[in-house]
Structure 1
Amino acid sequence: MKYRAVALCIVRREDQYLLVEKYDEVLDVTYYRPVGGTIEYGEDSKSTVIREVREEISAEISEPILVSVIENIYPYGTSIGHDINFIYEAGFIDESFYTRKQIIGTEGEESFNAIWIDLATINKDDKRKLVPEGLMTILTEENDSKLSEIKHYRTR
């Protein structure tokens, strides 16, 4: 079993979200998830999301606001994965990040693409999936009070 606590950062540009795009050749599925990563022992989730965005895409973010917590239990190879995901929303301090088509990031030795994408594109077929499970519902709920508090990030 794989168990971890994770902090992820939602960043919006109008109706698009900045999401890491990864392809799973075995399942033939493209996965999308917000930038972020594992909470280190002794570190709080808010500090993690700030650190992970800085480390992975070399960006500074505004004060992150906790939107939700998602418990995600999922198949992981021949075992089970179990994540607790702290979902934050923030904006970029350097507004030039909003004009980039994609952002090349690094996670350890591996590089990845973070792209601006709307949720409708992800929902087009079964070959694309937003993770963690449940995030799509959070992002598409119009009446979520915490999301409406930070709506101004959408218009950058």
Structure 2
Amino acid sequence: MTIWRPHQGIRVKAIGLLWRESRLLVADVYDDSGNLKGVRPLGGTVEFGETWRDALIREFQEELGVDVQIAKTPLVLENIYRHEGQLGHEVIFAADATLSNPSALPDTTITFAEENGIMCKAKWRALSELDTTNGPHLYPTGLKQRLIAV
């Protein structure tokens, strides 16, 4: 298992809100012990000189091999958090996205590799099962409330 720590600076990220019916595509987030800590929409870091839209399209192509269209103006969130005791700071563009080919992704668990080679799993989850006592936490914190308010 690879141990991940937040970058010690502000990162700009783009995440895609990809929906199938009322379910959001999210990747598992684990703690250092390998326990499920929560889930997050797919996406990644905006590179220098790259727009958030281009970054989001690139991330879906790199991680899942699929093309997406950005549907509308993004939600913008500032996320200051702690992971395994270390501080992280992100500015996140969270945008609705649609698959160019809706059948390109299965309804089952999707296994994919991050750029660093770490294997990850994603699945479609109902928003109602996230941030509950029995369900995983949705990252970034506050995203569920923003989605409900829209």
Q: Normalising by the residue count of structure 2, what TM-score does the alignment of the two structures yield?
A: 0.84
Aligned to 1:48: 55
Higher helix share: 1
Contact 2:63–2:113 (Cα < 8 Å) also in 1: yes
Shift in alpha-carbon separation, 1:119–1:63, aligned structure 2, 3 A: closer
Aligned to 1:114: 122
Of the three residues 125, 136, 141, the one matched with 2:144 is: 136
Identity of aligned residues (%): 28
Q: Deviations over 1:30-78 (max 9, x none)?
A: 3211110001111110100000011011110123423310001111444
Q: Work out whether 1:31 is the aligned partner of 2:38.
A: yes
Measured on the aligned residues, the alpha-carbon RMSD in Å equals: 2.0
Of the three residues 67, 87, 103, the one matched with 2:74 is: 67
Shift in alpha-carbon separation, 1:111–1:13, aligned structure 2, 3 A: same
Superposition deviation, residue 15 in structure 1: 1.0
Contact 1:30–1:127 (Cα < 8 Å) also in 2: no
Q: Secondary structure at the match of 2:68?
A: coil
Superposition deviation, residue 23 in structure 1: 2.0
Superposition deviation, residue 102 in structure 1: 2.0
Contact 2:32–2:84 (Cα < 8 Å) also in 1: no
- The gaps in structure 2 that reach 5 residues or longer are 1-7
Of the three residues 104, 113, 128, the one matched with 2:111 is: 104
For 2:26, the aligned partner's letter is L
- The gaps in structure 1 that reach 5 residues or longer are 145-156
Q: Normalising by the residue count of structure 1, what TM-score does the alignment of the two structures yield?
A: 0.81
Q: Work out whether 1:3 is the aligned partner of 2:10.
A: yes
Aligned to 2:102: 95
- When the two structures are aligned, how many residues end up with a matched partner? 142
